Chains A and B, each alone.
Chain A
Amino acid sequence: MAQLRRREFLKGAGIAVTTAPLAAAGGAGDGAAGRTDELPAGQPVDLALSVNGETQRVRVLPETPLVDALREGCARTGTKRSCGHGACGACTVLVDGTPRVACLSLAVDAPGHAIRTVEGLETDGKLHPVQQAFVDADALQCGFCTPGMVMSGVAFFERYRAAGRTDTPTDTEVGHAIAGNICRCGAQPAIMEAIRCACLGRTAVPPGMRDGVPAGALRRQDAVDKVTGRARYTVDVQLPGMLHGAILRAPHGHAVVKKLDLGPARRMPGVRAVVELLPRASGGWLTVRWAGMEVAAVAADTLAQARAALAAVDVQYDVRPPVVDRAAAERPDAPVIFPRQARGEARKAAEGPSFPHLLYRWDGNVRGSMIWPIDRDNGADVLEQVAAQPVRVDLAAETAVQVHATLEPHAVVAHWEGDRLTVYASTQTTQALASDVADAMDIPVAQVRVLAEHVGGAFGAKAGLKMEGLAAVRLAREAKAPVRIAVPVGDDLTATGNRPGTRHRIRIGADAGGRLRAIHHEGRSYCGAAVGESSTRMTDSLYHADASYRWDANVVTHSAPSVPFRAPGFPPNAFALEQAVDEVAAQLGVDPLTLRLYQERSPRRAAVLRLARAKWDGPPLDRVAADRGRYVRGAGVATADWFVLVGPQCRVEARATRDGHLTLSTATHDVGQGARTALASLGVAGLGLPPARVHVRIGDSALPPAPGTFGSISTNSFAPAALAALDELKDALWDAGARRHPGARRVERGLVTTGGRFLPFQELMAALPEDPYIVLARRPPDRGGLKLPPAPVDRIPLSPIGISQDTTNSVQIAEVEVDRRLGRVRVVRVLAVLDAGRLVAPITSASQVMGGIMQGVSFALYEGRRLDPHTGRNLTRSLESYALLGAADAPQVAVHFLDLPTEHTPHGGAGLGENATIATSGAVANAVFRAIGRRVPRTPLRPQDVLAALA
């Protein structure tokens, strides 16, 4: 009725359906009376946009967001799209000088306004001061948030300059300026420092590096590409004729599919291929065990068509009640999610080898510890020993499910050319993915090439072949055209991985001298529809109590399967364990660093603890604050260790050319941790070449083998191989030089002729017998062999993984301020001391540690997935409801390394990406205890929990 009235009215008013005039009018002034401009649904509009001072013509639909017009329409992919919701700021552009989110702006509103994007900031090939400061402060890792961050920074910089200011911008105002930009990698302190320094016209320095930047340390190699928007991520790949794919997901936590008919979807407009993703099982399909499980996928000419086609798939569910709640899953009468014959359908929650299900004791939905040697008698003997000690602690703790929330969503572009397949993927395992794809499609692995030039964050969620990869590859084959799938953020936060929630009970008995004598640790990991997590392992490796018992259960529920997440199992383990140990220290009234020194047998770990003591200049560590004002502060300590994983078969190719250039290649990845920088640093240091002459090729499965980038394994694997390749190359250069200059003497970086002239390697390269001269070297073995020999990890046959005899150690000390009225916890600063052996690339290493700290703070205070208890659907499917640390809440950081070569790895280094994040949440929790005198051992620690504890 109302609809009709309006149409009549419009008719009466004589609508002019205008396209070009509208675009030119550009929203200026009041419309001319009596005339209705209309943009009718479905009708393309031609626009002339002013982008970075140039006129850009683009055809859009009325609903096209500006971000898509820029990225797809104008092929300017510097501006990123992540949440699509206004919450992350990745799409920030300046509109007439003011930052706006391009995902919520309509392209049709843009004409008549000056749009500036990250691509337009350079002048005469020179970076904008804010861009330069980002490079100098190393204010980025994966770089996916960077274009948006830079734009917010530029807007602040311009306001600051326009006001004629010369004072130092405060943390508060810079924090405000970038409050709408999320960085998942945790570069916030460096970003704030970069913006401050750009305003002041000062050269920025990475803020975590309190001991200064070592001379000659290389800056991040891809920083310039990332601050200018030139770095190409998978979501930026556009191929001619490329189709858009979308995935249909089950909306039920528990259901049996009765009917699945793709026919209606096939007949929808623009649809070019449809595939089933839900695996077939006897007589039907696999049981749906989480809301978000993949059912089918469609490829169409446009994304809108693909989405519309998903809605046409005829799927009928027999919906069953899901077991969502943690407690409900453990009730004796709970429905069994994986009956014995279906245990194989449980996904794998952790990296590393998986053992047959029959080695574990299953009790309904609880998979206990391995039957042997751990699950003996519930550790009653250990409990007796705890009870016999004068100091006893009994602590219960729990952590929420954390999701990876990488800023670049999971994304794949699959492109078949005949029987050869190229897969562009946001992945941390190019080679494993290539072999997985080859298996899945039944083709030789040599026909598959996986490319991952830049990866916008991974953190464990992007290892191996995922459903979106399988879908893209199959759709592309069926459609005979390239297909891109980028998982929308709602699905990404729901179904592509998470860190299990955990519950712990830890009982410790200590003697009067503070030695931990007996530890009994029961841990439960809530892995969704997966098993394989361990959240108690560090309890034994960190403390060598005389008696120890660990029960390490996995509880399955009807929710999305967990996957590895940065240091799987360890952050929750440390959160619980380090609070229990802190409790021992508090009871004894000793400084928690000292208490840990009492336990130490490892001189390296003791050195780390002592260095932390020497570097800490915050509040005393042995006190519980007596202050009862509104804002109270406290400092807390936590420690961690992590394996030194190695890929013994990693190979690096060194290619030298007579014109004096060196290229190092291997199939590793840069997910933001700085692999390019590490390899370049080795090349520069090894041959004494200027950085501009050293090139790195990675992120391509066709390159020499390297393991996936997880578990802090990458540098441990490629660095020794690179060093070996460089050694071989040096021999060749010395030999080649000596042929030309008989009698010349070998020195560190070249030759010295009999006449006393120094010939650097760069010059000797001209004498190489071949051009290019190529050597391929394999990673040499560890001194004294490995602790655990290489084991082929499931689905990653190319890269067996070994465990070195070395370990890495860390201490973190956090200072917090608690608002006793509003319950908010603010982490003021964090000191991190790490033993990661010798550093290959100090700047990016410090950034990794800073990022680990930020993620740890985020885990401690904000992150927690929430599911509807009745359907299992994810209620935190946006970055508004799933909160991540923001810049305004980011602590100051100080990072120190125990710069001492390891004993066993060939390069003397040990990796640090995981260990950087393990201790943080425990340190924060202990600091809160020291501030308010109450323990609230749960993540996320929300204001209401603090207030409840204080009440």
Chain B
Amino acid sequence: MPLTILYPSDVAHAVDLHGGADGTEYKAGGTDVVDRHHQGILAPRTLVDLGRLGVLRGVEQRGDGWRIGALTTLLEVAGHEGLGREHPVLRQACDRTATPQVRAMATLGGSLRQKVRCPYFRHPDFTCWRKGGQECFARPGDNHWHAIWDNDTCAAVHPSTPAAALLALDAQLDVHFPGGDQRTVDMRAFTTFDVSDAMADDALPDAALVLGVRIPRPARPTRQAYERASARHLADWADVETAVVLQMDGDVVADARVVLGAVARRPRRAVEVEQRLNGHRLDAAVIADASAHAADGATPLPHNGHKTRLACNTVQATLERLTS
């Protein structure tokens, strides 16, 4: 299919060029948009290429934390020494995402806004909700890969591994909105949206441009880890993934963030686990007790019940890495 590529001169120009038009998307690393264009899956007809907007690239340490430009590649994020030392959860998450070749192209902004990987969505012969259809084929079909929460309309899981880590870090996004507003949106707000809208993946309008990600300096020392359950060690999508950031008061967990990925339409905080960690020393009994609640309230589909156990075990494995 023919493709038009537009090269904006600056950020505001990019948002204007996008204009929320059907069939128009940004191109950052291109690993998702180019693939979908070639495969004819919700294929963009126009790409607004962000590649020349140098202001969107780079990792910077500031007084109040870190700022990462949206065009920074996952390889650069994972390879940044200082950032990785302070926020290992982000480094580990980016490092386990995709393959070296893809990480060298994929950007942090693109990873947050990539489209879902549901095999029905990615199959040319299924016209699901997201492709203008009137149904989800996964719910009555093979929903082995799918959501165990938020699965009433579209049952695809949010694809982003880095998003799970950023939610656990209470990160914020600098966003340029259509119309010219620039605002900060925290990850919690970014991931809070009406899941009955089968097309939605986050709280931003399509044309909103993510300029960068801020990671605020945590109030206390933290312990952080990312872990996933997958058949292959590397280069596999996660069956379930977990990002954990614990703010510590000495040996006691003061404020826990436990995020599950690949289980819902958005990265999901396991509040039931967090509550059972807060105020406790991180020992085997506390971990076992808390992680058993990782899937509380889940509503699995017929073929993905296994994700509830994987969720509990992945949380447990991640927390166990943080005991000392």
Contact = CB atoms under 8 A, between A and B. Distances in A.
Contact of A888 (B120, B232, B310): B232
B57 to A, nearest CB: 11
Contacts of B307: 944
A868 B142 contact: yes
A163 to B, nearest CB: 13
Contact of A886 (B10, B24, B235): B235
A317 to B, nearest CB: 12
Contacts of A98: 75, 104
Given A109-B51, A942-B231, A948-B306, A104 B31 contact: yes
A895 B75 CA distance: 37
Contacts of B38: 63, 65, 84, 103
A948 B35 CA distance: 36
B9 interface: yes
Nearest to A18: B7
B317 A41 contact: no
Interface residues of A, number: 90
Contacts of A87: 99, 235
A5 B19 CA distance: 8
B30 A940 contact: no
Contacts of B310: 822-823, 943-944, 947
Contact of B9 (A32, A103, A630, A861): A32
Contact of B142 (A33, A866, A889): A866
A821 B3 contact: no
B117 interface: yes
Contacts of A85: 35, 39
A225 interface: no
A27 B313 contact: no
Interface residues of B, number: 75
Given A40-B4, A63-B1, A30 B54 contact: yes
Interface stretch (A457-465, A519-527, A872-880): A872-880
A248 B107 CA distance: 36
Contacts of A616: none
Interface in B93-117: 98-102, 104-105, 117
Interface stretch (B80-88, B121-129, B250-258, B266-274): B121-129
A105 B21 contact: no
A127 interface: no
B152 interface: no
Contacts of B17: 6, 9-10, 36
A868 B105 contact: no
A62 B5 contact: yes
Interface string B7-47: 11110010011111110100000110011011100000100
Interface in B39-83: 39, 45, 49, 51-55, 75
Contacts of B55: 30
B252 to A, nearest CB: 24
B216 interface: no
Contacts of A360: none
A92 B100 CA distance: 10
B132 interface: no
Nearest to A34: B9
Contacts of A84: 38-39
Contacts, number: 237
A152 interface: yes
Contact of B231 (A304, A866, A880, A883): A883
A109 B236 CA distance: 27
A821 B102 contact: no
Nearest to A947: B309
Contacts of B5: 38-39, 62, 106, 108
Nearest to B7: A37
Nearest to A251: B125
A740 interface: no
Nearest to B317: A821
A862 B231 CA distance: 7
Given A31-B9, A89-B101, A109-B51, A822 B2 contact: no
B309 A948 contact: yes
Contacts of B150: none
Interface stretch (A175-183, A447-455, A567-575): A175-183
Contacts of A30: 9-10, 52-55
Interface string A90-104: 001001001111011
B237 interface: yes
Interface in A834-876: 861-862, 866-871, 873-876
Most buried by A among B2, B20, B101: B101
Contacts of B100: 99, 152, 176-177, 179-180
B105 A101 contact: yes
Nearest to A96: B104
B313 A822 contact: yes
B45 to A, nearest CB: 7
Interface string A1-38: 01101100110010000000010000111111111111
B21 A2 contact: yes
A33 B233 contact: no
Nearest to B235: A179
A951 interface: yes
A354 interface: no
A33 B125 CA distance: 43
B98 A86 contact: yes
B321 to A, nearest CB: 10
B177 interface: no
Interface string A284-320: 0000000100000000000010000000000000000
A247 B237 CA distance: 30
Contacts of B31: 86, 101, 104
A95 B52 CA distance: 17
A880 B237 contact: yes
Given A99-B104, A886-B233, A29 B54 contact: yes
A773 B228 CA distance: 65
A826 interface: yes
Q: Top 7 A-B pairs ranked by shortest CB distance?
A: A180-B99, A944-B306, A41-B2, A63-B3, A37-B7, A31-B9, A179-B234
Given A29-B54, A63-B3, 20 more contacts: A6-B24, A33-B10, A36-B9, A40-B4, A63-B34, A92-B101, A109-B49, A179-B234, A180-B101, A180-B235, A822-B227, A822-B310, A822-B317, A823-B310, A824-B231, A826-B233, A873-B126, A876-B119, A886-B234, A947-B310
Interface of A: 2-3, 5-6, 9-10, 13, 22, 27-42, 61-63, 65, 84-87, 89, 92, 95, 98-101, 103-106, 108-109, 152, 175-177, 179-181, 251, 291, 304, 490, 630, 821-824, 826, 861-862, 866-871, 873-878, 880-881, 883, 885-886, 888-889, 940, 942-944, 947-948, 951
